[in-house]
Amino acid sequence: MAASVELDDIRAARGAIAEVVKHTPVISSLTLSADIGGNVVLKAENLQRTGAFKIRGAVNKVSSLGETASGGVVTGSAGNHAQALAFAAQHFGVPCEIFVPVGAAITKIDACRALGATVVEHGAALAEAVHAAKERSLSTSMTFCAPFDDVAVIAGQGTLGLEVVEDIADLSLVVVPLGGGGLISGTAIAIKSQRPDVRVIGVQAAACAPYAGGTPAEGPVLTLADGIAVKHPGEITAPLVERWVDDVVTVDEDAIADAMVLLMERAKLYVEGAGAVGVAALLSGAVSPSSEGSTCVVLSGGNVDLGVVPSLIRRHENTAGRRLSVVARIDDRPGSLAQLLMVFADGGADLIEVRHIREGLDLHVRETGIHATFAVRSSDRAAALIDAASDAGYDIRSSSW
């Protein structure tokens, strides 16, 4: 018989985690409501402790162990589950070991250690780290804590659904990121057990979408939504998702990037790729907002890799036409570069970067190539600047470099 999670289990979990877990806010989104129609609100779980919803399931799991927890807990993870379990173990005063792949992000390793966990780097891939954690559990009194495929974890994640029902009187549609299925199954059970009329839709990254019928990826998955890049549905979560979730859709990397930037720029919310897929689904048209009542989008986490932010901003500026890159030929003599740059300065462009190119172009021996990037106000202004440089006698073209 398949494992089951009921509304009463989720309500019990709420009591177990109440001292630790925040009741996160629901924030109205005028931008999304105006752009796509309907009334769109955001469940800001990115503001949760440890930066993601995972703390709900981890605390409930450790609480459910009772005296068994004194032997310690162990897991394999390189992301939000690791930090959540470390936090839960610290709260209950029990030992915690986290196995991560060799070369895992040092920021996440440091975060786990700061919470008192012992971090062990093992294997080249996450699967190897998880296997090592399970072996550690079998050889010690430590309990292995799965990131999503566990009834106590699912019940804990479902407490988010209780909050959504309480906070949104006219709730009609809920859009939830879908990775392993713990969050969406718990949330759907909590919501639809009370409000069967509410639709629940899961969103996966197209690069790794087994619940949406995609072929499970066997190698490394390159996606901004790495937090939900789970290659195989869980044994417990798969039937729950099939029973309780109305639909599953996918979004591509461009849509995820657009959603992350929009949330930063317009909503002032820092949301990781996995947490932003619901907004991406609305922006891309993969999900249509409800015409009656409120559409709630769950922002499941805010642990953004800082290294990706500059690339997101650059991409957004290019897409919006606010960044212009050009390649030009100029005479290789003093003052030539300054004269070219003055054409752009006179047109209101702000120089970001410039460099010489002496290879890869068919240049005269007294010429040099220039690759320059400017901040501009619009794509129309960028086109006008290129025309002005051409009129001034420069051999110039826009560049996608």
Do 280 and 254 form a contact (C-beta atoms < 8 A)? no
- Ordered by where they begin, the domains of the chain are 7-52+155-311 (3.40.50.1100), 54-144 (3.40.50.1100), 322-398 (3.30.70.260)
At 126 the pLDDT is: 80
H or E stretch covering 350: strand 350-357
H or E stretch covering 143: strand 143-144
Closest to 118 measured CA to CA, from 89, 155, 92? 89
Distance CA 52, CA 89 (A): 16
At 400 the pLDDT is: 58
Q: Both tokens of residue 315?
A: 């991409």
By annotation, the residues acting in catalysis are 54, 300
At 236 the pLDDT is: 96
Mean pLDDT, consecutive 10-residue segments, the chain of 401 residues?
86 97 96 91 97 97 96 92 96 96 84 95 87 96 96 98 98 97 98 98 95 76 89 94 98 96 94 97 96 96 89 85 89 90 93 84 79 90 92 85 47
Distance CA 165, CA 249 (A): 23
Count of residues in the chain: 401
At 216 the pLDDT is: 65
Q: Measuring CA to CA, how many Å separate 115 from each of 72, 84, 98, 102?
A: 14, 10, 11, 20
* Distance, CA of 96 to chain centre: 26
